[in-house]
Structures are given as C-alpha cells and as structure tokens.
C-alpha cells in the first residue's frame, strides 16, 4: 500500500524524519510530497526542500520525494495511494488534522488518513520554531538533519 506524507517541510525537521522512518515500516512505499503553496512565503524553494528531504532520507528504501500543487487528494489519486500519513505533536494538531481528514474524506471516500503520534522528544518541534531559532543565530543541529542545519546556517549567515 502506498502512503502519501504531504506537507510544506520548510524546513524538514527531525520530527518529520521520525514520521517518515516509521512510515516506511508500515507501508510498502511512502511518497513525501512537498506542497507548493503560492499563497505561502517559504524560506526554501520547493526544489531545495525536495533536495533536502532526498538527501536526509537516502538511507531509506521504498521512499519517493516529490512536489505538487493543488489538492492532496488529487495527488494521492494520481499516485494510486490509499493512505495519507500525518504526524501529531499536540492536541491542537489533532483538531486541525481531524478536520482536514474529514474534509479529504468528502473529496475521496477511498482515501484513509493515518495519524502517527510523534516521539515525545519531538513534541515541541515545528518548522516555524526551527526558523525562528535559526533567524537569531541559535543552534538548530539537534532539531533538523545536518544538511538542513547547514542550509539554514548558510541562509542566515552564521555557524553553530
């Protein structure tokens, strides 16, 4: 069974990577799908995010990294996926994700959403938090894959 793990991944964090690594154990194939949202200002380009994810997941088999625009359910249908994989950190994530899962179900009845609770060590972690720490020169190497930490340090012009 194919699972789609959609998101902006701007940038990918160790929490995201944890969900990906656990997802490949559960599914035959996981497609990490980077959403190109023209209404959102991203730090890294879609191409750069795809490259970052590809690099930090090269140790995994049965994974594909791609990008898309439009509805996630349409992308899932195009790739014959039956599952959307989503990570949950805190209760507020659940409310938003449950609403999205119900909405997706109205658009594609055959598509299921599977939630994985993040490991507790990443429960506080978000891409926004990482960007804010990096913006002010804080060390982020324990929050993101090493290739992403280097890209963030280069972007903000500092070393940690």
So which residues are the catalytic ones? Answer: 16, 40, 89, 127
**Host H or E run for residue 140:** none
Q: Is 157 annotated for ligand binding?
A: no
Q: Is 61 annotated for ligand binding?
A: no
Distance CA 46, CA 24 (A): 23
CB half-sphere exposure, 102, CA atoms < 13 A: 6
Q: Is 35 annotated for ligand binding?
A: no
Q: Is 123 annotated for ligand binding?
A: yes
Q: Is 127 annotated for ligand binding?
A: yes
Q: Is 97 annotated for ligand binding?
A: yes
Q: Is 23 annotated for ligand binding?
A: no
Burial 63-93 (b: 16+ CB within 10 A, else e): bebebbeeebbebbeebebebbbbbbbeeeb
Q: Is 88 annotated for ligand binding?
A: yes
Say if strands 112-117 and 83-88 run parallel, antiparallel, or are unpaired. Answer: parallel
Q: Using an 8 Å Cβ cutoff, are 83 and 1 in contact? A: yes
Residues that constitute the known binding site for ATP: 8-9, 16, 87-89, 97, 122-128
Residues that constitute the known binding site for substrate: 8, 40, 72, 86
Residues that constitute the known binding site: 8-9, 16, 40, 72, 86-89, 97, 122-128
């Amino acid at each position: 069974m194919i699972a789609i793990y959609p998101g902006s991944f701007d940038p990918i964090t160790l929490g995201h990577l944890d969900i990906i690594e656990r997802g490949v154990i559960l599914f035959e194939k996981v497609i990490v799908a980077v959403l190109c949202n023209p209404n959102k200002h991203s730090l890294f380009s879609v191409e750069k995010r795809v490259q970052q994810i590809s690099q930090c997941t090269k140790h995994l088999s049965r994974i594909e990294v791609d990008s898309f625009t439009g509805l996630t359910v349409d992308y899932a249908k195009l790739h014959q996926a039956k599952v959307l994989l989503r990570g949950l950190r805190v209760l507020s994530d659940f409310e938003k994700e449950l609403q999205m899962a119900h909405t997706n179900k109205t658009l594609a009845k055959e598509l299921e959403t599977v939630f994985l609770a993040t490991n507790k060590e990443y429960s506080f972690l978000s891409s926004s938090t990482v960007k804010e720490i990096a913006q002010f020169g804080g060390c982020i190497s324990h929050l993101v894959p090493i290739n992403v930490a280097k890209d963030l340090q280069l972007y903000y012009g500092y070393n940690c």
